[in-house]
Each structure stands twice: as structure tokens, then as C-alpha cells.
Structure 1
Amino acid sequence: MSEDARPTGTRKPVTNYGSGRGALLDAAVRVVARGGLRGLTYRAVAEEAGVTHGLVVHHFGSRDALIEEAVDHAFRSSLDVSSLDTGAERAGEFAEGLGSMVETGPDLQAFQYELLLEARRRPDLMPRLRALYDEYFETARRDLARILSRPVDRGLSRLVFAALEGLVLHQLVFGEREVTEEALAELRTLLERLADTDARTTPDTTFDPT
């Protein structure tokens, strides 16, 4: 049965989150978070947003355009709410909002993981995915360089970022924010020790992390 022929009685109740372009893109993110990128259709977004199918068609014109704009929207939103690049100058403040970020925006995080998996099947998604993660990698490098007061190589910044991403994924799947916070406390302790070691062995010079 096509989605247009689906009996209306089988549709889930919807909440009207708004009919503007941004609201429709937010609805698209929620749809993908629940059912993967392959479930992203005009009908699904319309039902999620509580608007007509025709309104979604009017805004985006094609499913490919809907996908592209949803991906770009999610990327911009992800960078805005990232727990990185907070200006932290001490290890004790590193990734301070990570747990709450996952708790308050699980759909956005789930969207990104769905996209990671889908990009393995759709190489056309890779440039956007790579652009997002390059931003993440660079932001993590800057944060660490500011905390350690020295240049940080790719290996260390990726290691720390991988730890953060793993914590996000585990909290997203299992909940247990308290475990995230415990792990972050351990990570911050390790960074503090690394910073102390660097301070004892490195000449006192001014370092610009940018």
C-alpha cells in the first residue's frame, strides 16, 4: 500500500509544531531520528508537523531537496548546541554541557547517527557529513589546545572526540546520564594531569590556540 493510499485511521495523532520552513525541518529531523533517512517522506513530515502534505511539497519541491535541507538544518543546529567550543580554559569545564545536550535534544543526536550509517550506502551524503565532523574535530582541537596551552595533534583531539561521541551514543541508547557525567569527570581528571605535566616540562610561553 502506498503512503497516499494508507487509511487515515491508521495514522498516529499529530501535534502542530508550526508550518514554517524551520518547523518542517525540525519535524524532518524527528522523523529520521525515529525511522531512519529512508523513512523521510513528504507524508511523514506532514503528519509529524501536523500540516498538509501539499504544504511540505510547496516548501521543498522534491524529496531530494527535503533530504538535503534537513541534513543542512541538522548540521547547523548541531553546531549551535554542541557542548564544545564553550570557551573553557580549564580541564574541569571541558564538555560541560554534554549530558544535558543529549537529554534535551535526543532527536538531533539520533539524526546524526542515522546519517553516519546512511552515508555508507549513499556516498552523496558524505561531503555534508565530512563538513560537519571536520567542524567538530577542529572545535575539539581548539578546546584542548586552549586547556593544555600548547598545540594539540590530530591523534589526541580525535581520541578525546571519540570518547565524547561514544558517551553521547551510549546515553542516547541506554539513558544513564549519571554514567556520562562519571566518565566526563574521569576524562577531565586525565586532561588536568596532562596539563600539569605539560606545565612542568614546557617553557612558559604565550600560546594562541587558534
Structure 2
Amino acid sequence: MTESAESADAESGSRGGRSRKRVDYGAGREALLAAAVRVVARGGLRKLTYRAVAEEAGVTHGLVVHHFGSRDALIEAALAHTVRTSLNTSAVEPGTGRTEDFSTGLSQMVTADPGIQAFQYELLLEARRRPELLPPLRALYEEYFGATERELSRMLPGGAGRPLTRLVFAALDGLVLHQLTMGEPEVTDAALEELRSLLRLLADTRTSPGREGDPAP
């Protein structure tokens, strides 16, 4: 976007009674992604337009175009942003191998920023009608599966295969969706403690003598 175009947009925004703020490239991109997430979380994917994101972020319409170029690129970047944020705040992969650390902070993550989670579920539902959304969704959800599998492998002797990984992640995903729609973070926390208890029991079973396939004492 040229300087003259930015000036024209700024002047137009000022005439419309809303002041526009200039944001540097790095910080501006993240702010626009966060704005896109909020727009979709409130109104669904059909409400996601350049102008809606610009209005939400308090910047020019041209700045959104400059950063992303197309609506599909904006959607894919926003999805990647939400996955990164969720992985960083939910402790799916604390890296300690300690069962008690697994997914700590999950309920707080949903309470602190429900829009992040709502955005992902909106895209999952929209993918039923728009199959072109499936490839980036599959690729980015592989990040969730990978983080979950690595942490389960630290906790469980013999590691964790894909079926167990998907089972555990489905439990986490369901708890997030329930809290997002019903509230009740205390229910999430209680269910997570039960999940950790089951994982501890599984770990103990795998290390105890007499397990199927183990040599006789």
C-alpha cells in the first residue's frame, strides 16, 4: 500500500468520525489477527470482511489488505494464530512428563479468551460446507495432536500411539467446547483431574510386573 493511499484512508477515516491508528508491521499483523478472531467468534465466518476487521482493530481497510492480500489468507493466518495461542496457554505439552502438569490452565485459557476457541469451532463447522477449509484445519490440528502425543509419550512407558492421542485430545477438546457453551470451569478442572488419574493408572499398569507380554518374574 502506498503512502498516499494510507494518507487517503486516514483522511477518509477521520472524516467518518473514527480516528485510525498507525501500527508497525509485526505488531499490526498480530492485532489484525486478534481482531479477525473476535469478529468470527461474535458473528461467524460470514461476518469476516476486511472492513469488519479494520473496524474492530481501529485501523484502515487498506492495512488489512496490505497484510493478507486475500480473505482466505486472513482466515488461514488467523487459524494458525489461534492454535499457537492455545498451545502456549493450555499446557498440553509442558515438557515435564509429570501427569499432574498435563493440561493445567485449560479452564483458565477458555475463561480468559473464549473468542480464540469459538473461532476454531466456527471454522470446523464451516468446513462441513466449505471443504477447501479442511487442508489448513487438518494441518494445524496436527500441531495439537503432535503436542499431545509427545507429552503422553513422556508420561507413559512405551509411548503413546495415534489412537490414544486422539482419544485424549478429544476429551480435552470436548471439555473446552462444553465450558465455552455452558461455563462451569470447575467442571472442566474436575474432569481434567479424572483424566490425569486415568493416565497415572495407565502408566502404572504399563510398568507393573505381570503385564501381558512381560517376562515372568
TM bracket, shorter-chain basis: 0.7 to 0.9
The RMSD of aligned alpha carbons is 2.4
| Deviation beyond 6 Å, 4+ runs, structure 1 | 14-18
Mapped to 2, the partners of 1:17 and 1:146 lie a distance apart of 46
Q: 1:67 to 1:90 in 2, by over 3 A?
A: closer
Q: 1:67 to 1:100 in 2, by over 3 A?
A: same
Report if aligned partners of 1:29, 1:111 keep a CA contact under 8 Å in 2. Answer: yes
Work out which of the residue numbers 96, 100, 106 in structure 2 matches 1:92.
100
Matched, 1:127 2:135: yes
Report if aligned partners of 1:46, 1:53 keep a CA contact under 8 Å in 2. Answer: yes
With a CA cutoff of 8 Å and minimum separation of 6, indicate the structure with the bigger relative contact order: 1
Matched, 1:193 2:201: yes
**Shift in Å, 1:87:** 1.2
Q: Which residue of 2 aligns with 1:145?
A: 153
AA matched with 1:168: V
Mapped to 2, the partners of 1:157 and 1:32 lie a distance apart of 29
Q: Which residue of 2 aligns with 1:181?
A: 189
Q: 1:15 to 1:179 in 2, by over 3 A?
A: farther
Aligned length: 191
Q: SS of the residue aligned with 1:85? A: coil
Normalised to the residue count of structure 1, the TM-score between the two structures is 0.81
Q: SS of the residue aligned with 1:88? A: coil
Q: Which residue of 2 aligns with 1:206?
A: none
Q: Deviations over 1:108-153 (max 9, x none)?
A: 1111111111111112211111111112112211111111122222
Normalised to the residue count of structure 2, the TM-score between the two structures is 0.79
Work out which of the residue numbers 163, 167, 183 in structure 2 matches 1:155.
163
Work out which of the residue numbers 49, 52, 62 in structure 1 matches 2:60.
52
**Shift in Å, 1:155:** 1.8
Structure 2 gaps of 5+ residues are: 1-17
Q: Deviations over 1:85-123 (max 9, x none)?
A: 111322222111211111112111111111111111112
Q: SS of the residue aligned with 2:208? A: helix
